[in-house]
């Protein structure tokens, strides 16, 4: 298996207008998997985390180093409403140490991410106020 850097595979385009910038609060739904090179479209295997299974989305400030680098890079390039697979090597994830017990060291990861909101604004927000 070759070294994985970073791959973004768009499943559904966003609005193509609204993109998060460093310092914005973003809200996402996601599933996290270990990378499996035998799966198509960069899908992973062995889900280790899911905001959907928890029952609520994840909100954080982007560009502040509070999440792994793969999320920073991937989500900063997504537009509002976009859904994509973000596949990346350990240098964008948890590195040599991993995140035991679910993510071994040097693990490539796959996240299916949907950008739901930027600073509270969603695809359904009414801007007429």
Q: Which of the following is catalytic: 49, 58, 60, 102?
A: 49
Q: Which of the following is catalytic: 92, 94, 103, 118?
A: 94
Q: Which of the following is catalytic: 4, 18, 24, 30?
A: 30
Q: Which of the following is catalytic: 35, 62, 111, 118?
A: 111
**Is 58 noted as a catalytic residue in this protein?**
no
Q: Which of the following is catalytic: 6, 19, 48, 58?
A: 48
CB 57 within 8 A of CB 29: yes
For residues 83 and 36, give the distance between their C-alpha atoms in angstroms, rounded to a whole number.
20
Closest to 34 measured CA to CA, from 24, 48, 20, 51: 48
Q: Which of the following is catalytic: 18, 24, 62, 68?
A: 68
**Is 94 noted as a catalytic residue in this protein?**
yes
**Is 49 noted as a catalytic residue in this protein?**
yes
Catalytic residue numbers, as ranges:
30, 48-49, 68, 94, 111
């Amino acid at each position: 298996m070759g070294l994985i850097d970073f791959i973004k595979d768009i499943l559904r385009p966003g609005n193509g207008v609204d993109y998060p910038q460093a310092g914005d609060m973003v809200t996402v739904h996601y599933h996290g998997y270990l990378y499996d090179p035998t799966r198509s479209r960069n899908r992973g295997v062995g889900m280790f985390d899911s905001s959907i299974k928890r029952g609520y989305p994840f909100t954080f400030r982007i560009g502040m180093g509070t999440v792994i680098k793969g999320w920073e890079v991937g989500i900063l390039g997504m537009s509002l409403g976009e859904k994509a697979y973000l596949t990346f090597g350990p240098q964008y994830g948890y590195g040599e140490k991993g995140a035991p017990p679910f993510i071994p060291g040097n693990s490539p990861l796959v996240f299916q991410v949907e950008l739901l909101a930027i600073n509270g604004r969603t695809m359904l927000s009414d801007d007429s106020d």
